[in-house]
Amino acid sequence: MQNDRLLAYFMILPVVIAVLAFVIGPTYNVGTLSLTKIVMGQERGFGTFSNFTALTADPVFWLVLKNTAIWILGGTLLCVLVGLGVGAFLSVDSRLTTGLRALILLPWVLPDVVTAMAWKWMLHGQVGIIGQTLETTGLTEETISFLGDPNLVMWTLVVVLIWRKMPLVALILCAAIRSVPDDQIEAARMDGATAFERFRFVVIPNIAFSLTAVTVISMIWITAEFALPWIMTGGGPANSSQIMATYIYQQSFEFFNWGIASAMSVINLVMLASIVALYLYINRRSWASEGSK
Amino acid sequence: MTNSISRRQFLGTTAATALATATPFSGAFAGTGDLSVWKFGGTPTEVEQWAARNEAFTADNPDINLNYSYFNGQIRRQKILAGFQTRRLADVIIAFGQDIPEFVGFDMVQPLDDIAADKIDGWKDRLVPEVMNSGMHDGKLYGLPTYVDMASFLAVNLDALEEAGFDRPPATWSELREYAKAMTKPGRPGLAFPATTAPVDINIFEGIAYANGGRIFDEESGKVTLDDPGVVDALQLYVDLIADGSTPAATSLTETFFRDTAQLFGQGRSAMWIGLSWLNTPWGVSEDVRWTGVPMPRPDTASGSFAPVNAIMDPTAILMVSSRAKNPEAAVEYLDFWSQNEQLEIWGGQPEVARIPAGKAAWDNEELAEVWPNWVEAYNEGSLFEGAAPMPRFIGVSAIESALGTAIQQAVLGQKTPLEALTEATKAAQTQIDLIRG
Amino acid sequence: MNETPRTFYWIGLSIIGLVIALYILFPIFWLFLASFKTQSELAQLPISFWPESATLDAYKALFSPTHQKGQLLDWPRLIGNSFFVAISSTILVVFFGTLAGYAFARLHFPGRDLILGGLLVSRMFQGAALLLPTYRLMTTLGLQDSTIGLVLLYSAFGLPFATWIIASSLREIPRELEESAMMDGASRLQSMAMVVLPLATPALITAAMWHFVGAWSEFAFASILLESNENKTVTIGLASFVELFTLEFQFVGAAATIVALPIMLVFFFGQRYFTRGLLAGAVKG
């Protein structure tokens, strides 16, 4: 047992060192910067909350929080729901679904800089193929500006986000659904359960773990996503798509105000870390039960 | 001035000009050692030409080991900031004139007056004085400009103009509204202007506001002046044009940045558009569109508290020398190389007709005269740069321009009146700028 | 089931399939179409759907040394660099991720759950705010403008998630198999290598593919860290077509096709393992 313990530490050492050095180190840096007053690019005094007070006084920041909630919560929820739907579809055996299963990962392969530009171009009401098609087929009477209309922009971004992140979620859930024991489904069918009831009461409980897992994974990805909103709207129009990631970028690289940017990322971190802590707490049982085996 | 240069012609002449300009140059006092250079973005031809001219530099200066890095234009500020924080800036940084005060304030770049003392006279000989001045800050020269962009200009479709019964382009704001309305027909608005968050779109508006006596910041008092009547009324012009029904839908303007606007114009989807001096960059103007470019119409009476300007300009590829340059001699040699006519000729017509050239000799270029006769005429008369001011440049300029961008979008979308939007923007920008400047 | 509902079922299924395919694949397809169009056709309004006079010029331009779209980008080199970075960091991630994953799944040691949780949470720390501190760190280590530096950085970014996938899947493998091997005199590491790992192949492939794609398509850190042309990766080349002034979607399309192709091949052959591995990772999170 003693040996095992040493071996274990030895085995996880490289991972821990790598993460400490390349991830935790810079993060610590951000933490100290958030408590540092920065004037004209020079550090002027550590141990101040001025960055945080400046943030709370900034009206844009509250708008940013609201938009970020749509982005992260709305994005995650839709990502998982659409992923569940598509995953259920893909779990059906047919030539069509087998082909789709291979192709569906394409959105994930190209760098987001490129896909963001492509979507921006396609969605444009006047010079984009989607805008043009909607208008010429008579689906919309007037030009529809997905990225220029403050009421549409946030949800349009979410649609693109889902396009990029959902395929993997769908594949994971598809695999989970396919692993649900056939006899359970068959038994439910014998009892006269409809397709929806079978899905709701047999499949869902069986894949509950996968669902929680992809929810948290999607949330982590969506939080880290920055290029899509930045390239597609730059936070506009009128800040209606300004989210944490874009505002942090703007504060540090456009305004050269990296103290504020750091404070914002600390707030961002605390919020997300609490969500993950919640997740780990919920999943505590699975680890504990394994540990006692 | 009609203009119908096609992409094909454009590319065809590129190679010829490259050959023609490839005459060797040898520096008088060549520096030695390593020299690192960072360049950010640019038009496709510019990027291509820059790399090609670098080869000539290397050939002329065998003792200098040129380390040229080209970066995506989008990462300009983050790369420079990262270099600054790690004390690893390139010896020569090619950035925007609008960046100068911040770079100087953060001690990233050094004045050239001392290190390039023996070269500056030559630069003055070869460069247009007004353009050369755009490298000045606080009485010192911080950069060597290769060209400038000027705001704001108006492109006019001549067929649409004649069809509406006009014989000359609009000259005042009220004429602009009248023309835009008269030239509007179903599916083709009279005027399009870009109103996204892209900095260039904001520069286009600033050109209009500055011509109206507006300013965005008063350096002496340290006060943001976005709520100055000069700015408010300029924004009111945008709002009026939309209310007149002379533009695409407001929500379309806020998603349409300058390049899309150019495309709409070039494909006959709008009769006029407002842009910078690179209006005639060949970005898809269909060959059967006859058009001309004129200065943006003036306010009937300027309403701002400051002196109205004729235009604002910024050198968006200005060579600066890092304050930590290990090899200032070689850096100055590189700047001097770019001050030579052979290099400045790039902006003298084909291949690059998009920019206002810095080199005096470039103005004799026949192609430039053919493509931009109005410019060349104005330059020869000495009126091109008359009354032109630099684009806003001071520490924290991005914060104010970003607040301005938000206000423009709010007003365009009708969420707020120009005055409300700009008053709020003034307050927000003042807070930001006080934070940055301490 | 009689014939009519069955027909409806298949029609319905096909329609859903088409809608999904349209949503997922159309943007990619549109870029692909653009790669065969000319500059003037791309500017044209109304937009033409199919290329009017299909041309391979964009592809030729990418690979012809006389016409490298100005940035003097050497596409074979960019692709080579990207492969180097993606493959090396994938090897590192899978190797060390397997070691750590095994420890987390099989061994008992104080702080195990906390450390694994911490690793997962660290995935959230990436973002715009980390760019500068990371750049500073890489410079201190002398690893800026180096593909080796990128390999290390990407590995650090990829390890937590890979460890987690591998650990989760290893826990699915019955302990008895391993125990019987150890009973026969194999050491723990031997039994891990000989008995457990072959069974965990799907998870390893999953982690590898996951990481490979991430490393292949990363842009933000590569764009700020790499300076010299000979070190640049393919995403930087791709992004150079989406500059402020350019409307050159034919090059974006062509380059995107070239970049996506190798990855698609990997997926095509690895797809089965990929989903199975992810399943193991996700089912018992």
pLDDT exceeds cutoff 50 at B1: no
pLDDT exceeds cutoff 90 at C53: no
d(Cα B207, Cα B296) in Å, to the nearest integer?
A: 9
Mean pLDDT of B302-311: 92
User: Are C133 and C28 in a shared domain?
Assistant: no
pLDDT at C126: 55
Contact flag B48-C69 (C-beta cutoff 8 Å):
yes
Residue B49: pLDDT band (50, 70, 90) is confident
- Block residue for tokens 């004129």: B294
Q: Is the dihedral of CA B366, B368, B373, B377 positive or negative?
A: negative
pLDDT in tens, B412-432: 999 999 999 999 999 999 988
User: How wide is the angle at C-alpha B284 spanned by C-alphas B279 and B287, nearest 5°?
Assistant: 100
pLDDT at C230: 85
**Measured between CB atoms, which of C24, C96, C132 is closest to A107?**
C24
pLDDT in tens, C83-127: 899 999 999 999 999 999 988 888 888 888 788 878 877 776 656
Nearest-CA distance B16 → chain A (Å): 33
Supply the pTM of this predicted model: 0.87
Contact criterion met (CB below 8 Å) for A84 and A173: yes
pLDDT exceeds cutoff 50 at C171: yes
Contact criterion met (CB below 8 Å) for B436 and B399: yes
d(Cα B281, Cα B287) in Å, to the nearest integer?
A: 13
Beta-carbon neighbour count of residue A252 at 10 Å? 25
Mean pLDDT of C182-208: 80
Contacts of residue A216 in chain C, CB cutoff 8 Å?
285
Contact flag B44-C224 (C-beta cutoff 8 Å):
no
Q: When comparing pLDDT for C173 and B270, which is higher?
A: B270
Contact flag B251-A252 (C-beta cutoff 8 Å):
no
Residue of chain A whose Cα is closest to the Cα of B254:
A148
pLDDT exceeds cutoff 90 at A251: no
pLDDT at B193: 94
Residue B3: pLDDT band (50, 70, 90) is very low
Q: Helix/strand/coil (H, E, C) string of B352-402?
A: ECCCEECECHHHHCHHHHHHCHHHHHHHHHCCCCCCEEECCCCCCHHHHHH
B71 shares contact with chain C (CB less than 8 Å): yes
d(Cα B198, Cα A231) in Å, to the nearest integer?
A: 10
Looking at the structure of chain C, the number of domains it has is 2
pLDDT at A292: 32
Contact criterion met (CB below 8 Å) for A83 and A214: yes
Contact criterion met (CB below 8 Å) for A64 and A145: no
Q: When comparing pLDDT for B75 and B178, which is higher?
A: B178
pLDDT at C124: 67
pLDDT at B281: 63
Of B1-5, C25-29, C151-155, where does mean pLDDT reach its minimum? Answer: B1-5
pLDDT at A139: 75
**Residue % of chain A over a pLDDT of 70:** 94
User: Are C162 and C83 in a shared domain?
Assistant: yes
Contact flag B435-A54 (C-beta cutoff 8 Å):
yes
d(Cα B229, Cα B232) in Å, to the nearest integer?
A: 5
Q: Are strands B140-141 and B33-40 parallel, antiparallel or unpaired?
A: unpaired
* Closest by Cα among B103, B151, B7 to B318: B103
The full DSSP string for B168-181 is S---BHHHHHHHHH
Beta bridge partners of B223: B218
Mean pLDDT of A128-136: 85
pLDDT exceeds cutoff 70 at B5: no
pLDDT at A176: 78
Mean pLDDT score across all residues of chain B: 86
pLDDT at C246: 66
Contacts of residue B43 in chain C, CB cutoff 8 Å?
245-246
pLDDT at A259: 86
User: Are C173 and C248 in a shared domain?
Assistant: yes
Domain hosting C34: range is 4-11+15-63
Tokens of C197: 């790992």
Can you list the domains of chain B with their CATH numbers? 7-146+315-390 (3.40.190.10), 150-312+396-437 (3.40.190.10)
The SS3 call for residue A123 is helix
**Measured between CB atoms, which of A89, A115, A276 is closest to C121?**
A276
Rank A277-281, B30-34, C81-85, C210-214 by mean pLDDT and report only the highest: C81-85
Mean pLDDT of B19-46: 66
Mean pLDDT of B398-404: 92
Mean pLDDT of B178-200: 92
DSSP state of A269: H
The angle that helices C131-140 and C147-170 make with each other, rounded to 10 degrees, is 110
User: Are C153 and C248 in a shared domain?
Assistant: yes
User: Are C19 and C153 in a shared domain?
Assistant: no
Nearest-CA distance C16 → chain A (Å): 8
What is the predicted ipTM?
0.84
Q: When comparing pLDDT for A223 and C69, which is higher?
A: A223
pLDDT in tens, B205-214: 999 999 999 9
User: Are C220 and C265 in a shared domain?
Assistant: yes
pLDDT at B100: 94
Q: When comparing pLDDT for A2 and A166, which is higher?
A: A166
pLDDT in tens, B250-275: 999 999 988 889 888 988 889 999 99
User: Are C42 and C133 in a shared domain?
Assistant: no
Mutation site, A9, A78, A79, A113, interface C, largest C CB count within 10 A: A113
Mutation site, C38, C64, C72, interface B, largest B CB count within 10 A: C72
User: Are C140 and C29 in a shared domain?
Assistant: no
pLDDT at B24: 40
Q: When comparing pLDDT for C188 and B313, which is higher?
A: B313
pLDDT exceeds cutoff 50 at B65: yes
pLDDT at C2: 52
Contacts of residue A42 in chain B, CB cutoff 8 Å?
106
Residue B20: pLDDT band (50, 70, 90) is very low
Which residues, other chains included, contact B120 with Cβ-Cβ below 8 Å and sequence gap of 6+?
Answer: B112, B113, B141
**Measured between CB atoms, which of B70, B86, B259 is closest to C71?**
B70
Mean pLDDT of A52-69: 88
A255 shares contact with chain B (CB less than 8 Å): yes
User: Are C107 and C227 in a shared domain?
Assistant: yes
Of B145-159, B262-276, C241-255, where does mean pLDDT reach its minimum? Answer: C241-255
**Residue % of chain B over a pLDDT of 90:** 54
pLDDT exceeds cutoff 80 at B224: yes
pLDDT exceeds cutoff 50 at B13: no
DSSP state of C231: G
Can you list the domains of chain A with their CATH numbers? 70-220 (1.10.3720.10)
Contacts of residue B44 in chain C, CB cutoff 8 Å?
69-70, 243, 245-246, 248
User: How wide is the angle at C-alpha C197 spanned by C-alphas C191 and C203, nearest 5°?
Assistant: 155
Residue A291: pLDDT band (50, 70, 90) is very low
Contact flag C45-B267 (C-beta cutoff 8 Å):
yes
User: Are C125 and C145 in a shared domain?
Assistant: yes
**Chain A contact partners (≥3 CB pairs within 8 A):** B, C
Contacts of residue B286 in chain C, CB cutoff 8 Å?
40, 43-44
The angle that helices A112-123 and C249-283 make with each other, rounded to 10 degrees, is 120
pLDDT exceeds cutoff 80 at C240: no
pLDDT at A6: 85
Backbone angles phi, psi at B64, to 5 degrees: -100, 130
User: Are C173 and C264 in a shared domain?
Assistant: yes
Q: Is the dihedral of CA A268, A273, A276, A277 positive or negative?
A: negative
pLDDT exceeds cutoff 60 at C282: no
Residue of chain B whose Cα is closest to the Cα of C68:
B48
Residue A215: pLDDT band (50, 70, 90) is confident
Nearest-CA distance C41 → chain B (Å): 9
**Measured between CB atoms, which of C103, C127, C242 is closest to A11?**
C103
User: Are C46 and C183 in a shared domain?
Assistant: no
Which residues, other chains included, contact A141 with Cβ-Cβ below 8 Å and sequence gap of 6+?
Answer: none
Mean pLDDT of A23-37: 85
Q: Is C202 exposed, middle or buried (0-12, 13-18, 19+ CB in 10 A)?
A: buried
Q: When comparing pLDDT for C150 and C179, which is higher?
A: C150
pLDDT in tens, A94-105: 777 777 877 887
Mean pLDDT of B197-202: 90
Mean pLDDT score across all residues of chain A: 83
